[in-house]
Structure 1
Amino acid sequence: MNDIGGVLPVLAVPFRNDGSVDLESIPKLIEHCISSKASGVVIFGLASELYKLNDSERIQILKEVLSAVNSRIPVIVGTEHSGTQAAVARSVEAEKLGASALMLYPPTFVKPDEANILSYFTAVGSAVNIPVIIQDAPAWTGVPLSLSLLSRIISDQPNVNYIKLESPPIGDKAKALRLEGFKIIAGFGAIHLMEDLNSGIDGFMPGCSLPGIFVEINDLFYSGQVEKARTLFQLVLPLLTFQLTSLDSFIEIQKILLKRMQVFSTSFCREPHTPISAERVAYLNVLIDEIGLQELKGITS
């Protein structure tokens, strides 16, 4: 369970129309991912609306995810916090509950210097016995992570040995970090997936609405059928770029698709949130029709 790689969908959190957490939809989402042969799942990534959850809800959701997974695939848990001690506490708690690995981006409220980033990740890494993934997402966090700093982190704390790169193109940084001992996870909504696969990534974290498509692309690529993988990727690329116009849009479109597939009961997103327009929903339907993949059949109404 500590071998993290392959297709690792980031789970959206389902809400009812009154904004309460829809715990009943979580097992459906887990089965959706597992039946699509996902290699693992991620809860409390940025696409999980983690910044809109209170601490009690986080524990409820995590317990429901772990129960539904039932040790069949790894569960990666986001445990970031603006305070180092709080991040350590969240991380220890997640490990005790059964997390297979942790994922944290650096503190963002007070932008830390390199010494504080180093102490943040080494403190978390020393407190747990499971792998820790650093989320390098400066476009979202405003906190860049240099190669020299990352090299110091893995040297000081060897179980902080995965990194999720979300500042494309990732090829050169991935190559340098692999030499330092890191395993590489790609993110950024998988819109650069073919380039990422060619750079030798160990896994990637797409959205959770269509995991089967990403599993098929991944399997084709690693079985040597690169052109078929590229053709399938190019087919879904317009949808990937459309949904990543903002984090808000990405989350809502994931939920719209999951609701239409009867995995979620609603596509509700908590405030603050700017819903996508009726015109964009109409264009989403056009994209779904144009793709014409089996996983999307019959979900445009």
Structure 2
Amino acid sequence: MAALDTRPTPEGGPVAGDAAQLVRGVSPVLEVPFHADGAVDVDGFGRVVDYVLGTGVTSVMFPGFASEYHKLSEAERAELTEVLLSRTRDRTDVAAVVAVQDHATRLAAHRARAVVDAGADLINLLPPHYLSPSRRAIQEHVGAVLAAVAPAPVVLQYAPSETGTSLDAATLRELAAAHPNLRLVKVESSPPGRLIAELAAGRPALPAVEGYAGVQLPDAIRRGAVGTQPGCSFTEIYVEIWRRFASGDHAGGDELHRRLLPYISYWMLDTELIIAAEKLISVRRGLFADAYCREPGHRLDAEEIRMVDRFLAEFDGMLPHLA
């Protein structure tokens, strides 16, 4: 499959040599398969990486909420990151976005620098949120990590539902003005559109990607989003939605998103729920063997399993078996 023109409008495409420009269009967050006994399925993760890169996307992100990052040991995280980077560090057509979620500024800066040195193209930075740090403390943390990895580009993840963190466009622009390597914001507020538009209209303009499984994707695109970061088990559907909008077929993009929305709007009622649903989708598609999620997690009930099977039947023509 040819690489997707990743801009939301037909003109132009990613700029060669600028990794941040590769985080356009669909930039999936990689899931982590486990064996039935709870051990990491490293080979399965390699198949996940290969599958996602094979859909024509120009970037992937790891580890995020969809990766169950908070349930991985340091050794597991390092091993899986190397699996990803071994497939991306020698390529100029794809970017690996490696996430940093450490709460302590010293640890976050050290991890960010280490993964850049190991070959990460961009850092995805989740601001600290345990025990509700002040906005000033969050700004200082983000600024310190940005300085530690400069000039490597950084995506700042704003996920208020999951973290309780409160940021606004003025604060984000202030950070970008002081640190030019803050190149994108991942906006996961609900709804995300207004903040995306404010960031796009400001000086400096700050591009945004939309997350939250693409629930608000058409509105986000119309308000200036340059990309989306959903989960990865049905990447082909997001690629096709984005292709339609990018080619000017907004009616077609809206129509396909309307078909997807009943599923993702239910699954996104809880982060652990969509993780479980996406893993079952990947197993049904033959990507890896077991849909195990580390506890505590969401256990799909019988009706939720039937919902996954209805989803796969409805989109059968777009989601080939991957075995």
Identity across the alignment (%):
28
Match of 1:230 among 240, 254, 261: 254
Alignment partner, residue 99 of structure 2 = 78
Gaps of 5+ in 1: none
Partners of 2:60 and 2:96 within 8 A in 1: yes
For 1:61-100, what aligned pairs fall within 5 Å after superposition? 61-69=80-88, 70-71=90-91, 72-100=93-121
Aligned: 1:159 with 2:178: no
Alignment partner, residue 285 of structure 2 = 261
Distance 2:212 2:27 in 1: 13
Number of matched residues?
A: 298
- Once the two structures are superposed, what CA deviation does each residue of 1:153-203 show, in whole Å capped at 9, x if it has no partner? 112212112101111322221122122331111001101111111112111
For 1:1-301, what aligned pairs fall within 5 Å after superposition? 1-3=19-21, 4-69=23-88, 70-71=90-91, 72-128=93-149, 129-178=151-200, 179=202, 180-289=204-313, 291-296=314-319
1:135 partner letter: Q
Q: How big is the shift at 1:281?
A: 0.7
Partners of 1:82 and 1:110 within 8 A in 2: no
TM-score (norm 2): 0.88
2:318 partner letter: E
What is the root-mean-square deviation in Å for CA atoms of aligned residues?
Answer: 1.6
Partners of 2:196 and 2:220 within 8 A in 1: no
Partners of 1:87 and 1:124 within 8 A in 2: yes
1:243 partner letter: W
Structure 1 runs of 4+ with >6 Å offset: none
Q: How big is the shift at 1:206?
A: 1.1
Q: How big is the shift at 1:242?
A: 2.4
Gaps of 5+ in 2: 1-18
2:298 partner letter: T
In structure 2, relative to structure 1, the CA distance for the partners of 1:231 and 1:144 (3 Å cut) is same
TM-score (norm 1): 0.94
Q: What's the secondary structure of 1:161's corresponding residue?
A: strand
Q: How big is the shift at 1:101?
A: 0.7
- Once the two structures are superposed, what CA deviation does each residue of 1:19-69 show, in whole Å capped at 9, x if it has no partner? 111110122112211221122111011111001111111110100011134
Partners of 1:133 and 1:162 within 8 A in 2: yes
Q: How big is the shift at 1:249?
A: 0.7
Partners of 1:38 and 1:212 within 8 A in 2: no
Q: What's the secondary structure of 2:182's corresponding residue?
A: coil
Q: What's the secondary structure of 2:86's corresponding residue?
A: helix
Distance 2:315 2:101 in 1: 38
